[in-house]
């Protein structure tokens, strides 16, 4: 099962970008043996619309256009469900075992995700009620994907 990390907004060169890419590389290396051939990072441009609702709608259209056919959408949003790392890992394993071709994790832009994205998501996850900078959310998502892959493979990276 392919994993896609779809982010609204372009990252700038720097430590945050390097760290998120490092976790993606680690997930790619660890995941191949257990049915995750790769994690792909795709960045989408932020909307330039004036009103926040219009920006969310524009970005929703871009998100849906970027999804590969048959993708299952997982949205990161503050209104989503809180999961521990083991439960997140179990969810990835179940989707892989069910034959899902692609699991697409989506991080919205500065205004968040539009309701149409949350409504079409198979699952909505939250990092908690706090607001995090986009780059930090991207790092946390990449790290949790890596952690999930290591849990599924029996690697000792995760400790309870």
DSSP string, 83-130: --HHHHHHHHHHHHHTT-SEEEEEE-BTTB--HHHHHH-SEEE-S-SS
Answer whether residue 160 is part of any domain.
no
pTM of the predicted structure, to 2 decimals = 0.93
- Count: domains in the chain: 1
Domain that holds residue 121: 2-153
Answer whether residue 158 is part of any domain.
no
Render pLDDT for 48-104 as a digit per residue (tens, 0 to 9): 999 999 999 999 999 999 999 999 999 999 999 999 999 999 999 999 999 999 999
Answer whether residue 84 is part of any domain.
yes
Render pLDDT for 5-15 as a digit per residue (tens, 0 to 9): 999 998 888 99
Query: Measuring CA to CA, which residue among 148, 17, 18, 5 is closest to residue 76?
Result: 5
Q: Could you tell me the CATH number of the domain that includes residue 116?
A: 3.40.1280.10
Answer whether residue 159 is part of any domain.
no
């Amino acid at each position: 099962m392919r994993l896609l990390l779809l982010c609204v907004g372009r990252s700038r060169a720097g430590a945050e970008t390097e760290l998120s890419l490092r976790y993606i590389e680690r997930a790619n290396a660890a995941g191949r043996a257990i049915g995750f051939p790769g994690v792909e990072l795709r960045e989408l441009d932020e909307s330039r619309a004036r009103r926040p609702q219009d920006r969310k709608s524009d970005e929703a259209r871009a998100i849906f256009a970027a999804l590969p056919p048959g993708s299952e959408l997982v949205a990161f949003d503050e209104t989503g469900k809180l999961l521990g790392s083991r439960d997140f890992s179990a969810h990835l394993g179940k989707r892989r075992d069910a034959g899902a071709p692609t699991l697409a994790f989506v991080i919205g832009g500065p205004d968040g995700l539009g309701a149409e994205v949350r409504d079409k998501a198979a699952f909505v996850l939250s990092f908690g009620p706090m607001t995090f900078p986009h780059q930090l959310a991207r790092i946390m998502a990449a790290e949790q994907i890596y952690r999930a892959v290591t849990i599924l493979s029996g690697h000792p990276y995760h400790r309870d």
